[in-house]
Amino acid sequence: MTNIDGDRRRFLGWCSLAPLMPTLLSRAALAASTAREHDRVVVVIRLMGGNDGLNAVVPIRDDRYYRLRPTIAIAARDTLRLPTGDRGLSPDLAAWHDLMEDGHAGILQGVGYPQPSRSHSRATEIWETGDPREALPATGWLGRYIDALRDPAAVEAIQFADNPGRMLASASGRDRLVGDPELLLAAPLQAGLPGAAATGSALGTVLASQRRLAETAAQLRRARRASGRRHPYPAGAFGAALRWTADLIEAQASPRCFHLALGAFEPADAPSFDTHVDEREKHARLYPQLGAGLRAFTRQLRRSGDFGRVLVITVSDFGRQVAENRTRGTDHGDAGLLFYAGGGIAPGLTGTPADLGRTTDGGLDHSVDFRGVYAEIFGRWLGVDPEPLLGGAFAHAGILHARA
Amino acid sequence: MSLAALTPAEVRHLLRRCSFAAVAEQVERLQGRPLDAVLDELLHEDASGSFRAADPAMSHREVQQWWLQRMLEGPGIRETLALFLNSYLGCASAPVQPPGALAGRVQTLRLCSLDSFPRLLQRLVLDPATMMQTGIDGHDRERVSDRPAKIVLERWTVGMGGFSGQDLEDLSRAMTGWKVPPRSLPSQVSLPYFDAKRHDAGGKTLFGESGTFDCAAAVLIAARRPQTGERFSRALLEELGVFDPPGALLGDLARVWRDTEGSIPTLLRAAVRSDAFWSPAARWQVIKSPVRVAVGACRQLGLTSAPEGLVDWLVATGQPLFDTPGNGERPWPRGAQWLDPPDRLARRYRLSRLLPLPGTLLSDSAADDWLARLDPAPGLEPGLRRERRRGSADAAGRIAARILDSAQYQLA
């Protein structure tokens, strides 16, 4: 085992306490208890593609894993120690491991849903709407929460990603997509427009869009001024989006929900979590961004006193097949992992570990329905009734601390 | 309005809706002439040109650049129709290898855009790039998949609910036997071939017609259905900015469809001759697609080659060339959807940075000159005239940029 951080005493202390973690109140959870509940924030990070859980939380005592993945398996000695003993964390997740040690992060195992789809577009729709039925709602699972909020004028959700996904899509139009904040801030906006006269016309539609753009730009400017930009983040679009998210939270801006993306399908050489080819290399580029980005994010918001009102989760289209393919990667599978972090979470590993003996067409069977995560966020984090928003009752997944 | 002699404003409206933009020289030439004569000229513009032939070895980006260039140089109506057809029929570039094969698909759309819609579908279904998208390639009598037939029925012809289970099953069987052979060179586009052994030559019944139809014959049966004509006519009217067509106009187009076996130019002519097309209340009510904004600006500025950054600008503004939403399952958005989220508008407002604009003051009436050339919707004049009065060496370029990056320029 490798302890990347080097602080062995603190590390072992965390490992010995880890089985008790769900019953202990973490420092972050203490912070959460003092946060204003109505200001709680949810940040969803989409791991673009379909993330392979088995090369993140590695079943180091299971021979089947090493037999089925002769070239891409991670040796037990290279993994980072986890309290369960039979699992090790990918060394690329060292920064995430630090966050888990500190009680700020966790990983939920075995996440999926019945009759899973292995199509990217279909699986994305299901995760974004929280609804696997054929007739999908037009709104996203968080978009429906936004619609239920009181202030009809405020911007309540921001997506820092180029693709206009449906996760934050709201009937009330209170979601904004900001692909590149710098570009938005630099947009030349016309002055002295005949806006009032153009209501209901195509010109009125363009001008209304321009007004929304100006409002979002103004929020971003205020947030940047308020934070002072003192905290270093990893280079690249993901780090920048995390920084903007933290700045807006620190500035007490109106958005409660954020949607970010890590990894991309384009250009062709950009790494994504769709790891059909050279999985280890792609993880080595992406996981450190996730860990280091969240570490910087946590540091900034802990210093500002806002971490207690923040919950971060990741989503991804699906997990991957247990067996590797012929191109040093893995193909589309079923159940996977969900990373989470924040001030009120149950840290460490949660959920049921993947059972390599329980598979369907090569993909891992799920043990936790992802809608149970959404239900828990609605019911215990955001304080709203999850049933009307999700169209049914789902057992909570257990990512939040008992006192969150 | 009088169809006997078009005013300059009417010519501009026609060009904005049927082509990419009103180009000053074209407006000058066409004004005062009858509508039918103007349409005759626009529909018969020379499409051959001196254009660089498509190279199958082109990368995805190069083939996007190639199509953009084609739209810049080609006849406005034909090129806009090809763009509309790409959207209406749906397109996903990811399965197409090599990407240069997409140029062949564009050429099919361009060549058939002034022909009959059913004949276009007959050709398109066996276009190599399209075959890779629909999955008809390798689909044989032993392994019949209903995916290609679903695409033909749901997206291209009668639409959801317009066909029976037997129609789907028998069209799927009729489409068996076609294959795109493996490429011997990565840059080669293989030509499809028909393997009779893989084809299901048994009897089939499609929309009540029985026979041993092959792929082309079966697609033609679905393509000639009245519902196909109704769906296509409505989409064409929307493309021309007629969003709530009166019943009489739909009836006219249904007759044209039946009498001409779905002639696209005759349908277009009937739509353009309608009162709904010329209604004063409908002027400036179309929010242009990014391609129409960009290509229109280039054509108005007389640019002979597409600026390098334009392909990326189209991706950033939500209209990557070829790819329609949902992996080719849906057409490109319309109207306000183009501006949702508003971030897209911020990206649109950077167009002027990509285009070469004159930096010196042309004349005292620079604002009026630019307004006439770039043809934005009304409302910009007072601000531009103030700009002119401030006067500086680069005022002309700044005025042009302000028009291009304005709300008014997004409208047609």
pLDDT confidence of residue A150: 74
pLDDT confidence of residue A22: 36
In Å, how far are B42, B71, B78, B79, B120 from B107, measured between CA atoms? Answer: 19, 12, 11, 10, 11
pLDDT < 50 stretches in chain B: 361
Burial status of residue B95 (CB atoms within 10 A of its CB: 0-12, 13-18, 19 or more): middle
pLDDT confidence of residue B400: 87
Distance between CA atoms of A46 and A127, rounded to whole angstroms? Answer: 10
> Which residues, in sequence order, are CB contacts of B321 under 8 Å at separation 6+?
B64, B67, B68, B291, B311, B314
Does the pLDDT at position A26 exceed 80?
no
Is residue A264 within 8 angstroms of chain B, CB to CB?
A: no
Distance between CA atoms of B45 and B36, rounded to whole angstroms? Answer: 14
> Which residues, in sequence order, are CB contacts of A231 under 8 Å at separation 6+?
A243, A246, A296, A299, A300, A303
Across the range A272-285, mean pLDDT stands at 94
Across the range A5-10, mean pLDDT stands at 33
Across the range A27-49, mean pLDDT stands at 66
Query: Which element (helix H / strand E) includes A84?
Result: none
Task: Provide the 3-class DSSP secondary structure of residue A404.
Answer: coil
Mutate to test the interface with B, among A172, A201, A205, A219 (most CBs of B within 10 A): A205
The verdict on a CB contact (< 8 Å) between A201 and B350 is no
CB B374 within 8 A of CB B400: yes
Bigger pLDDT: B179 or A346?
A346
pLDDT confidence of residue B139: 76
DSSP, res A199: T
Burial status of residue A85 (CB atoms within 10 A of its CB: 0-12, 13-18, 19 or more): exposed
The verdict on a CB contact (< 8 Å) between A190 and B382 is no
pLDDT confidence of residue A33: 37
* Closest CA in chain A for residue B329: A121
Across the range A268-287, mean pLDDT stands at 90
CB pairs under 8 A between A and B: 88
Amino acid present at B319: Q
| Two tokens, residue B412 | 């047609």
Bigger pLDDT: B149 or A12?
B149
Q: What are the helix and strand counts (H, E) for chain A? A: 12, 14
Model confidence at A350, pLDDT cuts 50, 70, 90, reads very high
In Å, how far are B62, B63, B66, B133, B189 from B55, measured between CA atoms? Answer: 9, 8, 9, 20, 10
Mean pLDDT, chain A, as a whole number? 85
| Two tokens, residue B1 | 């309005």
Q: Degrees (nearest 5) of the Cα angle A312, A214, B349?
A: 105
Distance between CA atoms of A230 and A227, rounded to whole angstroms? Answer: 7
The verdict on a CB contact (< 8 Å) between B347 and A207 is no
pLDDT, tens digit, for every residue of A150-184?
776 677 888 887 666 789 988 887 777 787 787 77
Is residue B339 within 8 angstroms of chain A, CB to CB?
A: yes
Q: Helical H runs in B240-378?
A: 247-260, 264-272, 275-278, 290-300, 310-316, 325-328, 343-348, 366-374
CB-closest option in B327, B329, B343 to A179: B343
pLDDT, tens digit, for every residue of A352-380?
998 999 999 999 999 999 999 999 999 99
pLDDT confidence of residue B364: 52
Does the pLDDT at position A7 exceed 90?
no
Query: Which element (helix H / strand E) includes A337?
Result: strand A336-342
Bigger pLDDT: B175 or A219?
B175
- CA neighbor of B22 nearest in space, from B374, B370, B410, B379: B374
Using alpha carbons only, how large is chain A's radius of gyration in Å?
21
Q: How many CB atoms lie within 10 A of CB B363?
A: 10
Half-sphere exposure of B381 (CA within 13 A, CB side): 8
Distance between CA atoms of B325 and B86, rounded to whole angstroms? Answer: 12
CB-closest option in A164, A183, A203 to B377: A203
Does the pLDDT at position A186 exceed 90?
no
pLDDT confidence of residue B365: 63
- Residues of chain A in contact with residue B285, where contact means CB-CB under 8 angstroms, are 201-202
Q: How many residues does chain A have?
A: 404
Q: Give this complex's ipTM.
A: 0.89
pLDDT, tens digit, for every residue of B353-403?
899 887 654 555 677 888 899 999 998 877 776 666 665 556 677 788 889
Does the pLDDT at position A311 exceed 50?
yes
DSSP β-ladder status, A175-177 and A157-160: parallel
DSSP B4-16: SS--HHHHHHHHH
> Which residues, in sequence order, are CB contacts of B83 under 8 Å at separation 6+?
B71, B291
Distance between CA atoms of B81 and B30, rounded to whole angstroms? Answer: 20
The verdict on a CB contact (< 8 Å) between B349 and A202 is no
Strands (DSSP E) found in A20-72: 41-47, 57-58
- Residues of chain B in contact with residue A237, where contact means CB-CB under 8 angstroms, are none
Bigger pLDDT: A198 or B287?
B287
Percent of chain A residues past pLDDT 90, beyond the cut: 62
pTM given for the model: 0.72
| Two tokens, residue A239 | 């780090």
| Two tokens, residue A85 | 């003993």
Q: What are the helix and strand counts (H, E) for chain B? A: 22, 4
CB A346 within 8 A of CB A361: no
Please report how the helices B101-112 and B117-124 are oriented relative to each other, as an axis angle in degrees rounded to 10: 160
Is residue B377 within 8 angstroms of chain A, CB to CB?
A: yes
Mutate to test the interface with B, among A129, A175, A203, A258 (most CBs of B within 10 A): A203
The verdict on a CB contact (< 8 Å) between B346 and A159 is no
* Closest CA in chain B for residue A119: B327
pLDDT confidence of residue A191: 53
pLDDT confidence of residue A8: 32
> Which residues, in sequence order, are CB contacts of B281 under 8 Å at separation 6+?
none
Distance between CA atoms of B135 and B142, rounded to whole angstroms? Answer: 15
Q: Which of A40-44, A273-277, B295-299 has the lowest mean pLDDT?
A: A273-277
Give how far B344 is from chain A: nearest CA, Å: 8
Distance between CA atoms of A151 and A57, rounded to whole angstroms? Answer: 42
Bigger pLDDT: B272 or A136?
B272
